[in-house]
Structure 1
Amino acid sequence: MVRAAEGEPRHTADVVNISSSAGRVARGGTAVYNLTKFGVNGFSEALRQELQPLRVRVSVIEPGTVDTELASHTREELRSRVEAQTQAIERLQPEDIADAVAHIVGSPRRVAVNEVFVRAADQSW
């Protein structure tokens, strides 16, 4: 990434990590998931500080409820709870997250978007 920043016309490169709203808000029954997402957030911030002088921007996107297969990969008890909690929400679409990535990497060199916390409009947590 450092070489890419040196050779790129804007003299910058981007690392964009995808975390989750679970990296900000812990909920019972999802401790390991929360651990990994809080970790991604901390890692991203430390890496941002380390690479900033080298013109490598590091960002993290923390999406809320997205219409993906994630819930289908959890144990039944948690899957039922998540479904009950999110059934009335119009979930974010993967394209919404892609738009956030495009915004970050398309920003001029003078702009560093360090984090984007994006939730479904109906999501209250």
Structure 2
Amino acid sequence: MSHFQPTRQKKIIVITGASSGIGETAALALAQAGHTVVLGARRQERLELLAEKIRATGGSVAFLATDVARKEQVDALIYLAREQFGRVDVIVNNAGVMPLSALEELKIDEWEHMVDVNIKGVLYGIAAGLPVMKSQGQGHFINISSIGGHAVYPTAAVYCATKYAVRAISEGLRQEQLGGDIRVTIISPGVVESELADSISDPAARAAMNEFRQIALKPDAIARAIVYAIEQPADVDVSEIIIRPTQSPY
């Protein structure tokens, strides 16, 4: 018989992209599990509603309007967590955008926006959190990649490049922190019901994505994986999880 019990230590957990989809669902799940959540996203009103919902069930929460493409705003989010709760145990770098289009469409502004949010946003989260975690002697980064970080699809070249980058950055961070007590987890969701596809301006790419998303996971499937990774004992690092719909070929 196994004697394993997940850790019940209550943690201070920062989540970016927390106003909808995976981030919102993870915030609710983690608060329900007794953790304190510090929420960042661009939409202040969404954060206020989510915080009210968490507090109504006895949860502990703080939030700050945050654009992860702006380093000073990510710094401010981590500062809020540390000032209000004394430490930062986990950072979930979840914020992401996915304006798909064929490369020949030359949607350069959209390429740059994906790089700014999907890559730089993760790097800014690491830059803000790593010194804090090093000073504490422990911490945990959970970086949300994608199945698009494992394979490339038409119209998704730049998006996939950003998600490959998330995996490369995360694995580099894990290796550099060997011998310490900082854990790094990559979570790569398959198709999930979310607002990500709403940012697709290219009609052909939007139609293709609507077809692609006929079989999709609920966000709580990813939230459960985040909770699982966080609640492992301190000497266990869940390095990578890929989660797909059972019936999806992708």
TM bracket, shorter-chain basis? 0.7 to 0.9
Q: What is the rounded CA distance, in whole Å, between the counterparts of 1:99 and 1:62 in structure 2?
A: 13
Q: Secondary structure at the match of 1:62?
A: strand
Matched, 1:69 2:195: yes
Alignment of 1:1-125 (within 5 A): 1-4=133-136, 6=137, 12-74=138-200, 75-87=202-214, 89=215, 91-125=216-250
Specify the code of the residue in structure 2 equivalent to 1:46: G
* Structure 1: runs of 5 or more not aligned: 7-11
Task: Detail structure 1 runs of 4+ shifted over 2 Å in the superposition.
Answer: none
Give 1:85 shift: 2.6
Paired positions, count: 117
Q: Secondary structure at the match of 1:52?
A: coil
Specify the code of the residue in structure 2 equivalent to 1:83: N
Question: Kindly tell me: are residues 95 and 64 of structure 1, through their superposed partners in 2, closer, same or farther at Cα, counting changes over 3 Å?
Answer: same
TM score, norm. by length of structure 1: 0.88
Q: What is the rounded CA distance, in whole Å, between the counterparts of 2:224 and 2:244 in structure 1?
A: 13
- Kindly, what percent of the aligned residue pairs are identical? 34
Q: Secondary structure at the match of 1:68?
A: coil
Q: Which of 1 and 2 has higher RCO (CA within 8 Å, sep 6+)?
A: 1
Give 1:52 shift: 2.5
Give 1:71 shift: 1.1
**Structure possessing the higher radius of gyration over alpha carbons:** 2
Q: Secondary structure at the match of 1:97?
A: helix
Q: Secondary structure at the match of 1:77?
A: helix
Specify the code of the residue in structure 1 equivalent to 2:205: L
CA RMSD of aligned residues (A): 1.1
Per-residue Cα deviation, 1:59-89 (whole angstroms, up to 9, x for no partner): 10000000001111112211101112322x1
* Structure 2: runs of 5 or more not aligned: 1-132
Q: What is the rounded CA distance, in whole Å, between the counterparts of 1:100 and 1:86 in structure 2?
A: 21
> What does residue 9 of structure 1 align with?
none
Specify the code of the residue in structure 2 equivalent to 1:122: Q
Q: What is the rounded CA distance, in whole Å, between the counterparts of 1:2 and 1:103 in structure 2?
A: 23
